[in-house]
Amino acid sequence: MPLTEKTCVPCRGGIPPLTPGEASALHGQVSGWALTHEATRIERDFKFDDFAAAIAFVNKVGALAEAEGHHPDISFGWGYAHVVFFTHKIKGLHENDFIMAAKVDAIT
Amino acid sequence: MPLTEKTCVPCRGGIPPLTPGEASALHGQVSGWALTHEATRIERDFKFDDFAAAIAFVNKVGALAEAEGHHPDISFGWGYAHVVFFTHKIKGLHENDFIMAAKVDAIT
């Protein structure tokens, strides 16, 4: 099933993060993202024409995050946004992070 | 005149940034902010109860930035936001940065 058709599941911790091999396999479906910090995060840069376009994108990502109950860390300003997914409770990556990345790609 | 009663003026570069002494003097009016990077930036952390409150604050700051034509760099996520003001065109601080900081304080 494509990641965009999946839904984030609650993650309260107590499970191991994805292994680097598992993360690499899912990464193939969201290859525009960078797999960083020893395969414990995925992150992507987005460019825009101005501040208004950047914050409009940030709000679309925010709405998606609220709908899925899985939230990114976002840095943005005039003409750019940088989005990071990382499951804080397991200090690494969960399938939820890849589902969110795929859904963000689908709205860009 | 208090900073909150001033309005940002267009800054297209070609002028020197505030000196550390000038920046320190204005900093006294927005003392909740940290003056960093050798007095070339001002930045502040804000805490919230959840993601929704953080992004609501980010949007209020964004609306203020659009109204004043002077934009911050913002990092945020679940329960937090970090706002940085810095005048990119002069690679340092302008009075506009302090006006924006004071106006952000006024909406928190």
Does residue A10 lie within any of the structural domains?
no
For residue B85, the enclosing domain spans 18-107
Q: Please give the average per-residue pLDDT across A13-28, as a whole number.
A: 94
> pLDDT-based confidence at B70, cuts 50/70/90?
very high
User: Do the interacting molecules here have an ipTM over 0.85?
Assistant: yes
Residue of chain B with shortest Cα separation from A75: B75
CA-CA distance, A20 to A7, in Å (whole number)? 22
Q: Please give the average per-residue pLDDT across B78-93, as a whole number.
A: 96
Gap from A25 CA to chain B (nearest CA, Å): 27
Q: Please give the average per-residue pLDDT across A38-53, as a whole number.
A: 97
Does residue B13 lie within any of the structural domains?
no
> pLDDT-based confidence at B104, cuts 50/70/90?
very high
Kindly list the residues from chain A whose CB atom is less than 8 angstroms away from the CB atom of residue B78.
Answer: 71
Who has greater pLDDT, A51 or B11? Answer: A51
A26: left (phi > 0), else alpha (psi -120 to 50), else beta? Answer: alpha
Kindly list the residues from chain A whose CB atom is less than 8 angstroms away from the CB atom of residue B79.
Answer: none
Does residue A3 lie within any of the structural domains?
no
Q: Which helix (H) or strand (E) holds A77?
A: strand A73-77
Q: Which helix (H) or strand (E) holds A57?
A: helix A51-68
Q: Please give the average per-residue pLDDT across B17-35, as a whole number.
A: 96
- Looking up residue A100, the CATH number of its domain turns out to be 3.30.1360.20
- pLDDT value at position B90? 93
Touching check for A51 and chain B: CB below 8 Å?
Answer: yes
Inter-chain CB pairs, A–B, below 8 Å: 38
Q: Are B42 and B73 in contact (CB under 8 A)?
A: no
pLDDT above 90 for B12: no
Does residue B87 lie within any of the structural domains?
yes
CA-CA distance, B25 to B20, in Å (whole number)? 9
Does residue B66 lie within any of the structural domains?
yes
- pLDDT value at position A37? 95
Q: Encoding tokens for residue B77?
A: 């996520």
Does residue B2 lie within any of the structural domains?
no
Kindly list the residues from chain B whose CB atom is less than 8 angstroms away from the CB atom of residue A51.
Answer: 62, 65-66, 71
Does residue A22 lie within any of the structural domains?
yes
Q: Supply φ then ψ for residue B80, to 5 degrees.
A: -150, 160
- pLDDT value at position A11? 84
Beta strands in B1-108 (DSSP E): 34-36, 41-47, 73-77, 80-85
Does residue A5 lie within any of the structural domains?
no
Tokens 């020197």, residue? B16
Look at chain B and report how many structural domains it folds into: 1
